[in-house]
Amino acid sequence: GAVVSQHPSWVICKSGTSVKIECRSLDFQATTMFWYRQFPKQSLMLMATSNEGSKATYEQGVEKDKFLINHASLTLSTLTVTSAHPEDSSFYICSATILAGGRDNEQFFGPGTRLTVL
Amino acid sequence: SQQGEEDPQALSIQEGENATMNCSYKTSINNLQWYRQNSGRGLVHLILIRSNEREKHSGRLRVTLDTSKKSSSLLITASRAADTASYFCAVQGTNAGKSTFGDGTTLTVKP
């Protein structure tokens, strides 16, 4: 159990377009979902924390108007990269914390989405 | 700033040798997780160790946690060429629930 999926697994887009990435908890309800970004040969950096039904909390230096997060349900969060540019090319990974069942706060990570902006 | 800091940054060993990677952090934690990432791929979860645990094993992997020193180590025994990857620790703090990743250790196992 505790599987997190992401869609798409990879996407290539033209500069100036918007890209939506979905993060789903498949077999559990997630209180909170997190979005991370990883540039080549670097570690994962937290971008934002997303709670169902409320506005996301962004980390310092992350533009909330560029990276739109919608957490519509306890099993789905979406990240939209608006007006993407080549410097947004990165690996985006989401994670989710489980709602209940003795595993509170344990984080489960999705497989990641590789975004390439031409 | 990131909580998790790992050393060494890079480690190169011969097949069959043991590999040890360390992770240090700064504040109280709920748990600490170790992940492997092959080049260009997603994260593979290895082991989660909770703050009240001191040691966990999984196959050839052994993880220790010393909360007094705020550090953890990952030991891979009898390494194989297929163990070549980057290894990250992720520290989950006691509030907010978010995990902070270390910079990672790049392990190269030579056949």
Average pLDDT, 10 consecutive residues per value, chain A (118 residues): 90 96 92 91 92 88 94 92 96 84 69 95
The secondary element (H helix, E strand) that includes residue A57 is strand A57-58
Pair of tokens at residue A14: 């033209």
Strands A44-51 and A57-58: antiparallel
Nearest CA in chain A to B106: A41
Q: What is the dihedral of CA A118, A82, B42, A39, to 10 degrees?
A: 70
Contacts of B108 in chain A (CB under 8 A): none
Pair of tokens at residue A74: 């306890």
Please give the Cα distance from A73 to A69 (Å, whole number). Answer: 12
B96: pLDDT strictly greater than 70: no
Written as one letter, the residue type at A47 is: M
At B94, is the pLDDT very low, low, confident or very high (cuts 50, 70, 90)? confident
Q: Which of A42, A109, A114 sits opposite B43 (nearest CB)?
A: A109
pLDDT of residue A55: 87
Nearest CA in chain A to B88: A43
Bridge partners of B22, per DSSP, are: B7, B73
With CB atoms and an 8 Å threshold, state whether B99 touches A43.
no
Backbone angles phi, psi at A3, to 5 degrees: -105, 135
Pair of tokens at residue A94: 């989401």
How do residues B29-44 score in pLDDT, each as one tens digit?
888 999 999 987 888 8
